[in-house]
Amino acid sequence: MNEQTMPRYSLTLGHLYPDQLNLYGDRGNILTLRRRCELRNIELRVVGLGIGDALAPDEYDMLFIGGGQDKEQAPVAQDLYEIKGIGLWAAIEDDMPVLAVCGGYQLLAHYYRPAEGPDMRGLGVFDAWTIHKGAHVARCIGNIAISWNGQTLVGFENHGGRTYLGTAKPLGKVLKGYGNNAEDHTEGAVYRNTFGTYLHGSLLPKNPHFADHLISLALYRKYGAIDGAEEAWYEQEGEKQNGSRPFEANGRSPVPDPLAPLDDTLEWEAHASMLERLGLYQAAVAALHSS
Amino acid sequence: MGKQKPPHTMKRDGRIRRQRSSAGEEQSSVDHTSVESYRYSRRRRSSLRAGLAVLGGRAAGALSRRLHLGGGTSIAGVVAQRLYPDIVGHLSKQLRYGSVLVTGTNGKTTTSGFIAAILSDAGLRVWRNREGSNLMRGVAGALVIRAQPNGSLRRSGQAISVFEVDEAVVPQFVESVHPRVVAFNNLFRDQLDRYGEVDSVAARWQKAIRMLPDNTTVVLNADDPSIAVLGDHFDGRVVYFGIDDGELHLGDGAERHQTIDTRTCPHCGTDYSYDTRFYSHLGHYFCPGCGYTRPQPSVRAVKVANEGLDRLRVGVETPEHKREIIIPLPGLYNVYNALAAIAVAQALEISWGPIATGIEQFKPVFGRGERVQADGRTLRLLLAKNPTGFNEVLRTLFSDSTPRHVLFILNDNIADGRDISWIWDVDFERLVGYTGSLTVAGTRALDLALRLKYAGVALDDMKIVMPAPLRAATRSLDAKERRKLRRSRSVKSTKRQAISTAEKEPSSEASEQLHEEGIGGRPQGYTHTSQQGRASAGEYGIAKALDAAISRTPVGETLFIVPTYTGLLEVHRQLERRGLTPHYWEEKGP
């Protein structure tokens, strides 16, 4: 490889409400994105966006929203609607990859209707809504596997609310587990590059293909397709560095292969082992062959 | 019992009574105050039913033990409760000195162990639900196995019971038992799938506290804001304990990303600020919004000093005493456990002598710092079942730069919590570079290994022992399946001609082509899917994990075993099988 010191790409991840929505080990998602970027010499800056902070869509390449406790969710919902809403909408319409897990997912739908009390208004990014049917209806808790993009995603779900999709496309089909509402076998929702899901566990460590999908979406959005990459690189980085790293230095493009495959043996084994526990042997075999 | 301790005074029902322990007196010395005589008539009516419940429960327990299904305490409780739902209330009312309830996310067993040691050193007969079942059925079982077929407790004379109670069942417990002292130690996130969120546990506790009669004493941790506020809901006597050693402040350094489970003031919703933070949300906090501050504790640790890995020297101040005490356990969390026990003892008006001996001569309980010798190595068991507990264990082990030999066991059985997401909230980054040897086992060994990998531990530096081989790894795809897999992926990926469509799927032809062109080489150490290349191939099961971890620890050194709850049970079973520990349910009470 050429010199590893200067990252060729840099991405900025906006982590929404890291203090309020930090339940269920969502830190694992951030750690995974950071490490998978690091190993490919992509710089990933993580910026926490708390309550009251504005969201300027131009400053980020990727966004993450986790899940939180009910008590924490109300002020977050208000802030999301009143302060970050416009910026978030702009980012989403501009194809920024956004991952919203559990509570964050619910907040991106139209509303969350608790068992008691008033509805919590969401952003309406997904044409979907969530209803909590009360304490007498069991929570959806357990390991879950869904199909996504011809492969599988595995995780753990724990939600009281049931989400129903209107015209929103689901993220995947439930193979084992509850998913959105334990009724229609859908899981999550997708709008442009925004992904809402109930899967945590954390989601990304055991689903490296999904983590890489998010990273490549962000890279593609920022640096363009491979043909335009050189120009994009000059535009983004070359000017800043006054052309101090000309392409001729090593005789080839500085943008060869951003998402070089990593050694994901352990990741896929963990993935396959969960599939196996859920009785999905065929999928487990396929997963092991992904590594 | 056997011990004859000097008599001591205890206050109960407003009266002071001098008590002597003599075998003849105990049987008949169940005293009846006005309240209890009202209950007495009810008890007569229900004693037949209670007797039946006791018989049924004990028979079930004996059967379970005979069949080697376990200690049989829980099943005894289940059966007895089925036969007589209020069996706990019925039996607990016969305890002469009533009962003490200990709860909290972490430290229940150690705290109640300290309390039991103190009370028995003070000459009482202490009964506990020590077998580790801290649900109602465990409490019921602990009483039933000590009851007679006529529905009365045996030798209830000098008896006091110390019950460690699961966070979720505190209201039920309080309703049927009417404890004399209730101690709340801390509240952290734990088994979110079982308990729900931290807030719902706090709500249950508030409900429980409102049900307590005013003559109960409540012992609260002043440093845990979610515990301290419970005092607002109680009109009776409250004793606060806390740490007042400012040198233990975490600072704003590397540990700032600890998980904080209680963040906001319940009165006004403002985020707490801290003068001093010890760990997680424990410290000297105040609310900038409404001015709510940490209550001033009356039982305080004013100076905490580590003495190696095993002991703590703590300066303790109470309204009556100013003493130094040795806690024979590591970790700041054990300071809180000891302080809670001291505060409970103070509430029961126990003198300092038994407090000091009870704590200083304390033998680590089941998996909480317990020590076992095996093959020339010392094994130490340190239970860690939630992020804060795990963080504190890691902090204790890796606070100096001594390399440690560690065996982690991560299980996701119901008693552990099915959700293991919390491992991503544990600061495993702390141990990178400081492990002598590292073995990872349990039903979720791969998840933990992955967590360690992302913390920066090289795969070669850890040994992964799975519970069973991956079946999927033993066979490969046939040609038809391979085609199907490839087709389903390429259909989806044509949608986007991104830079990385090819790279993202290393098994597709496009990426192989890139390979031949020498673009984007695979990193070193890349292994193809084969049984040999598996990170987890080789040995399976806890027995093998234990063997591997022991053999990777040099003779004369210590292996630290850090398991979740059922992992601890499995290790114990293994050690028993090797004749290394007594069956814990056969331990005799004091």
Domains in chain B (CATH in brackets) are: 9-360 (3.40.1190.10), 368-472+534-586 (3.90.190.20)
How confident is the model over B532-561, as a mean pLDDT? Answer: 85
To the nearest whole Å, the CA of B429 is away from the closest chain A CA by 11
Percentage of residues in chain B having pLDDT higher than 90: 33
How confident is the model over A84-91, as a mean pLDDT? Answer: 94
Which distant-in-sequence residues (6+ apart) come within 8 Å of B66 by Cβ?
none
- Does residue A194 belong to any structural domain of this protein? yes
* pLDDT confidence of residue B476: 59
Judge: A256–B520 Cβ closer than 8 Å, yes or no: yes
Beta bridge partners of B163: B101
* pLDDT confidence of residue A85: 92
Return the higher-pLDDT residue of B422 and B415.
B422
Residue of A4, A8, A23, A278 to mutate, testing the B interface (most B Cβ within 10 Å of its Cβ): A23
How confident is the model over B154-163, as a mean pLDDT? Answer: 80
3-state class (DSSP) for residue B488: helix
Judge: A69–B199 Cβ closer than 8 Å, yes or no: yes
For residue B326, pLDDT beyond 90: yes
Task: Using a cut of 0.80, tell me whether the model's pTM lies above it.
Answer: no
- Does residue A291 belong to any structural domain of this protein? no
Name the residue facing B498 among A156, A220, A291 (closest C-beta): A220
* pLDDT confidence of residue B238: 95
- Residue A208: give the domain boundaries: 9-215
Judge: A285–B418 Cβ closer than 8 Å, yes or no: no
For residue B1, pLDDT beyond 60: no
Chain B residues in contact with A31 (beta carbon < 8 A): 424, 454
pLDDT band (50, 70, 90) for residue B3: very low
For A33, which residue in chain B has the nearest alpha carbon?
Answer: B454
For residue A236, pLDDT beyond 70: no
Return the higher-pLDDT residue of B38 and A15.
A15
What residues of A are annotated to the active site?
A: 102, 200
To the nearest whole Å, the CA of A53 is away from the closest chain B CA by 16
For A158, which residue in chain B has the nearest alpha carbon?
Answer: B193
Neighbouring CB atoms inside 10 A of B375's CB total: 13
Chain B residues in contact with A149 (beta carbon < 8 A): 489, 492-493
Name the residue facing A284 among B263, B472, B482 (closest C-beta): B472
Segment B348-369, tens digit of pLDDT: 999 999 999 999 988 877 777 7
| Planar angle of CA B241, B243, B248, nearest 5 degrees | 165
Name the residue facing A256 among B199, B489, B519 (closest C-beta): B519
* pLDDT confidence of residue B483: 61
CATH number at residue A208: 3.40.50.880
Token representation of residue B78? 């289940």
Total domain count for chain A?
1
To the nearest whole Å, the CA of A11 is away from the closest chain B CA by 16
* pLDDT confidence of residue B368: 77
- From the number of C-beta atoms within 10 Å of its C-beta (0-12, 13-18, 19+), residue A172 rates as buried
For A217, which residue in chain B has the nearest alpha carbon?
Answer: B498
Name the residue facing A219 among B425, B500, B521 (closest C-beta): B500
Judge: A269–B489 Cβ closer than 8 Å, yes or no: no
pLDDT band (50, 70, 90) for residue A204: very high
Helix H, strand E, coil C: the string for chain A is CCCCCCCCEEEEEEEECCCCCCCCCCHHHHHHHHHHHHCCCEEEEEEEECCCCCCCHHHCCEEEECCCCHHHHHHHHHHHHHHHHHHHHHHHHCCCCEEEECHHHHHCCCEEECCCCCCEECCCCCCEEEEECCCCCCCEEEEEEEEECCEEEEEEEEECEEEEECCCECCEEEEECCCCCCCCCEECEEECCEEEECCECCCCCCCHHHHHHHHHHHHHHHHCCCCCHHHHHHHHHHCCCCCCCCHHHCCCCCCCCCCCCCCCHHHHHHHHHHHHHCCCHHHHHHHHCCC
Segment B488-528, tens digit of pLDDT: 554 444 333 333 333 333 333 333 333 333 333 333 333 33
To the nearest whole Å, the CA of A83 is away from the closest chain B CA by 19
- Whether a cis peptide bond, with omega within 30° of 0, leads into A10 is no
Token representation of residue B244? 């007042």
Strand arrangement of the beta sheet that strand A194-197 belongs to: A42-49, A9-16, A62-65, A98-101, A194-197, A189-191
Return the higher-pLDDT residue of A207 and B365.
A207
Helix H, strand E, coil C: the string for A230-278 is HHHHHHHHHCCCCCCCCHHHCCCCCCCCCCCCCCCHHHHHHHHHHHHHC
Distances in Å between the Cα of A5 and the Cα atoms of A2, A43, A178 are: 9, 11, 46
Judge: A270–B521 Cβ closer than 8 Å, yes or no: no
* pLDDT confidence of residue B69: 64
Segment A104-161, tens digit of pLDDT: 999 999 999 988 888 889 999 999 999 998 878 888 999 999 999 999 999 999 898 9
- Does residue A231 belong to any structural domain of this protein? no
How confident is the model over B309-333, as a mean pLDDT? Answer: 88
Neighbouring CB atoms inside 10 A of B554's CB total: 12
* pLDDT confidence of residue A256: 40
For residue B412, pLDDT beyond 90: yes
How confident is the model over A238-265, as a mean pLDDT? Answer: 54
C-alpha dihedral sign at B458, B463, B469, B475: positive
To the nearest whole Å, the CA of B488 is away from the closest chain A CA by 5
Segment B117-145, tens digit of pLDDT: 999 999 998 888 766 577 777 778 777 77
A234-238, B161-165, B376-380 — which is least confidently predicted?
A: A234-238
* pLDDT confidence of residue B116: 93
For residue B529, pLDDT beyond 80: no
Name the residue facing B500 among A142, A156, A258 (closest C-beta): A258
Q: For residue A180, which of A146, A216, A214, A215 has the smallest C-alpha distance?
A: A146
How confident is the model over A188-216, as a mean pLDDT? Answer: 94
Segment B201-259, tens digit of pLDDT: 888 899 999 999 888 999 999 999 999 999 988 989 999 999 998 777 765 444 445 56
Name the residue facing A229 among B189, B472, B499 (closest C-beta): B499
For B482, which residue in chain A has the nearest alpha carbon?
Answer: A286
Segment B288-299, tens digit of pLDDT: 989 899 999 999
Return the higher-pLDDT residue of B83 and B205.
B205
3-state class (DSSP) for residue B526: coil
* pLDDT confidence of residue B192: 65
**A/B interface, count of CB pairs below 8 Å:** 203
Chain A residues in contact with B522 (beta carbon < 8 A): 260-261, 263
Q: For residue B156, which of B8, B10, B26, B23 has the smallest C-alpha distance?
A: B26
How confident is the model over B364-385, as a mean pLDDT? Answer: 85
* pLDDT confidence of residue B534: 60
Mean pLDDT computed over every residue of chain B = 77
* Cα separation, A152 vs B485, whole angstroms: 11
Chain A residues in contact with B534 (beta carbon < 8 A): 265, 269
To the nearest whole Å, the CA of A23 is away from the closest chain B CA by 8
Segment A272-282, tens digit of pLDDT: 999 999 999 98
